[in-house]
Amino acid sequence: MTPRVFSKLLGLFVLLLVFETAVMEFVFRRFVEQSAGETLHRLGLEALWSGLIALAVALPLAAWVAARITDRLGKVVSFARKIAGGDLEARLDAYGDDELATMEAALNQTAQRLGQDFAEIESRRQELVTMLDSMQEAVIAVTREGLVRWSNAVMQQFAATQIVPGRPLVHSVRDPEVLACVRAAQERGEVRFGRASSLVHGRVFEINAAPLPSGGALVVLHDVTGIEAAERSRRDFIANVSHELRTPLTSIQGYVETLLEDPDPRPETTREFLGVIQKNAVRMNRLTEDLLALASVESPDYKIARQAIRADEMVQDAIESLGGIVVDSEVELESSGAPDALVMADPDAMNQVFGNLIENSLKYAKSGKRIRVGARQHQNEVEFTVEDFGPGIASEHLYRIFERFYRVDKARSRDSGGTGLGLAIVKHIVQAHGGRIWAESELGSGAQFHFTLPLAKPMAGPGH
């Protein structure tokens, strides 16, 4: 029994005593007033009965009050345990207007406010988790001791093993640069930057490690593989262009200087030198034209005027318009058949595509004596093919020939005036039409260049 309950019971007994004293006083007065012997006896009995009745009423009342208070206190204790266990929905029944009821109401209010605060915190936490998971960057937080506190979904993809909060960072992230940045950020208390190239094979990440007030660190990893590749490609491109321009330019400069230094050059020599100069000037002109064409098709503003054209007419047009370039070459340019299906294409752009492919076959596969152009219809597209029977292309070069400036045999290609941009231009044009382009070849048996164009009216579905 608690001291508070005990004091209540004590109060009850004091009340009883007061009551009994009052009764005794009343009896005594009557005794004085009547001062008679039998009256004394009767009053003594009355006093005895009154005392007994008072006790009979008070005792169960006190027991009932004590039991009620004990029960309510028990409820408060079990409520406190529920709250401590995380059940913030628990509530007390607060009846009456005594101190216990006031306390029960206050506890209920506290529990309600706690519940609201927890719900708010949880919703903010969820928002944060969603935000972090939707980020393209990988994020991971570590404690002062180097243990993982939490990480986002992207980080999980880059980790060597499953990231488990509470385990050392080094278990899942083994890139030395990342670990060094985390250590440095923690030790120096400042943001550290770095570059991780061994986190995921073939990918490069920018590291940003910031110290946390708790002594840990927050690491953000940004995948810069694409940016690096674009930067490398830009550098390569500039180097290639400079190189391609310098070769003919050096040659022109050399011949011009020789001519200028000779006070009396022989007319044949002059002619010969001027011929070389012209050849190199043409070459430079071609290169700049190809560069402009490439810049145009690679530009996001590149527009094609597509219209519905019959595939067989496209093949026929290509053969007729390019017939001129094979006239003196002992090479046959022929059709291998094409359907009358309508495809969506820009006729001028298609001339450029067929022109480049047929010109290549003529340049590199003259020995095959034949160039065949044809088309085949598939489900929702038409596949066009330019085929020759020349030396073909070795498999290790096949997937690279569509790259800018890529040539299988640089010296041979340069002799024939090639800059290695033709197939890159063709690839962009085909892709701008929503098509694909690829090459197949067996060394010594010729090469086939295939590209697809979407049908003007796609078929309804399989079986139609």
Ligand X SMILES: Nc1ncnc2c1ncn2[C@@H]1O[C@H](COP(=O)(O)OP(=O)(O)OP(=O)(O)O)[C@@H](O)[C@H]1O
Binding site for ligand X (CB under 6 A): 290, 356, 360-361, 364-365, 388, 390, 393, 401, 406-409, 413, 418-424, 447
User: Which residues ranging from 309 to 368 are in contact with Mg ion (CB under 5 A)?
Assistant: 360
Q: How far from 126 is each of 121, 132, 217, 282, CA to CA, in Å?
A: 9, 10, 21, 66
Judged by beta carbon distances under 5 to 8 A according to partner kind, the member of Mg ion, ligand X, none in contact with residue 385 is none
**How far is C-alpha 393 from the geometric centre of its chain's CA atoms?**
39
Work out whether strand 437-441 and strand 381-388 pair parallel, antiparallel, or are unpaired.
unpaired
Nearer Cβ to ligand X (170/408)? 408
User: Rounded distance, CA 434 to CA 425, Å?
Assistant: 15
Nearer Cβ to Mg ion (360/441)? 360
CB 406, min distance to ligand X, A: 6
Judged by beta carbon distances under 5 to 8 A according to partner kind, the member of Mg ion, ligand X, none in contact with residue 390 is ligand X
CB 427, min distance to Mg ion, A: 12
Nearer Cβ to Mg ion (179/429)? 429
How many residues belong to the chain? 464
Give the CB-nearest residue to ligand X: 422
User: Rounded distance, CA 372 to CA 386, Å?
Assistant: 6
Nearer Cβ to Mg ion (211/422)? 422
Number of residues located near Mg ion, criterion CB under 5 A: 2
CB 397, min distance to ligand X, A: 7
Nearer Cβ to ligand X (291/375)? 291
Contact 381, 454 (CB under 8 A): yes
CB 375, min distance to Mg ion, A: 21
For 153, the token pair is 């979904």
Phi, psi of 294 (to 5 degrees): -65, -45
> Among candidates 99, 103, 112, which has minimal Cα distance to 77?
103
Nearer Cβ to ligand X (22/443)? 443
Contact flag: residue 422 with Mg ion (CB under 5 A):
yes
Work out whether strand 138-142 and strand 217-223 pair parallel, antiparallel, or are unpaired.
antiparallel
Edge-to-edge strands, sheet with 437-441: 332-335, 370-377, 381-388, 447-454, 437-441
Neighbours of 253 (CB within 10 A): 13
Judged by beta carbon distances under 5 to 8 A according to partner kind, the member of Mg ion, ligand X, none in contact with residue 290 is ligand X
Torsion sign, CA atoms 126, 132, 138, 140: negative
User: Rounded distance, CA 296 to CA 91, Å?
Assistant: 73
User: Rounded distance, CA 18 to CA 345, Å?
Assistant: 113
CB 389, min distance to ligand X, A: 10
Nearer Cβ to Mg ion (223/359)? 359
Judged by beta carbon distances under 5 to 8 A according to partner kind, the member of Mg ion, ligand X, none in contact with residue 248 is none
Contact flag: residue 208 with Mg ion (CB under 5 A):
no
Contact flag: residue 413 with Mg ion (CB under 5 A):
no
Query: Which residues bind to Mg ion, rule: CB under 5 A?
Result: 360, 422
